[in-house]
Structure 1
Amino acid sequence: MLIRLDTITLQTTAPIQLIDITEQLRECCARSGVRNGLVTLLSRHTTAAICLNERETQLQRDMVTFLKRLVPRDGDYLHNLAPVDDRDNAHAHLMALFTNASETIPIADGELLLGGWQSVFFVELDGPRPERAVTLQFLGQAAGD
C-alpha cells in the first residue's frame, strides 16, 4: 500500500473565484506513483472549498452569481462585529456551509476517474488571498504491487 502527500498552492485574485486545478492534480497524480487507488483533496481553509463541476465560462459566472445571491456580503452578521483576522468575512463562512471542504476521486491505471465534463475546482469564497493550499493524499497500489 502506497500513501503519498502533496500540496497544490495557489493565489486568488477575486472575492469569489473558481480555479480549475485539474491539470495540477493530474501532474501530482502522475508523480505519486499510485496506479490504482484514491486521492482525497482537502481545502485547508474555512472559507475555501473543493468541487467537481463543468468548466464552462458562463456556468462559472453563474456559480459566482448564485453564491453572492445565496449569502450577500452586506448581511447583518454577528461574526463581522469581532472578526478573528480583521476580515468581514461572515458571508464567506456561511457560503462554505453549502460547499465541500474535500473531495475523493478514484484512480485507475494511473488516471483520475473523472467524467467527461468534470473538472476539479478550488473555490475561493474570501479572496483575494496571496496563498491558499490544497492538501492531496494519495492512497493505493503502485505499479508492480
Structure 2
Amino acid sequence: MYELKTKETDSSVIEFIESVDHPRKREDAYKLLDIFTDTTGYEAKMWGPSIIGFGKYHYKYASGHEGDAPLVGFSPRKAKISLYFATGDTQRDELLKNFGKHTTGKACVYINKVADIHVDVLKALIKQSVTFLKETYPNE
C-alpha cells in the first residue's frame, strides 16, 4: 500500500519559519503565514518537514488512492517559495493571469518574493482553492 509522505505533524510552524536561512525569505514566510491564516480562518499546521498547510480535506481517487492534504499551503524553499492551491480548478488559471511574477508546476505556484505578487489576487486564489476543494470533496 502506498504510504503518504506528507502528513500533518505536531512540529512548530514558528520554529520551522525561524529555521529558514535567508532573512527575506523568512520575512516573506511570516507575511504569508498572516495572509493564509487571515484568509482561511484556519490555524497553520506543518505537513511533512517543510509545508505549512491550512485546513485539510480527505480525497479519494477513482484508482482507490486516498489520503488527507491541506486545503492550501506554502513552503519557503531555498530556490523559490512554493504556494499550494487546488489543481483542476479552471478559475485558478484565470486568477493567475493577474497574480504577478510567478511560474507554475503541476500542483504548485512558485514565487521569488511576496513583493512580486498582488496580495489581493493571492487572497482570491486562497479563497477559491478552499471553496473548490470543499465542493469537490464535501466529506470533511
Q: TM-score, normalised by structure 1?
A: 0.25
Which structure's CA Rg is the greater one? 1
Looking at secondary structure, tell me which structure has more helix per residue: 2
Higher relative contact order (CA 8 A, sep 6+): 1
Q: TM-score, normalised by structure 2?
A: 0.25
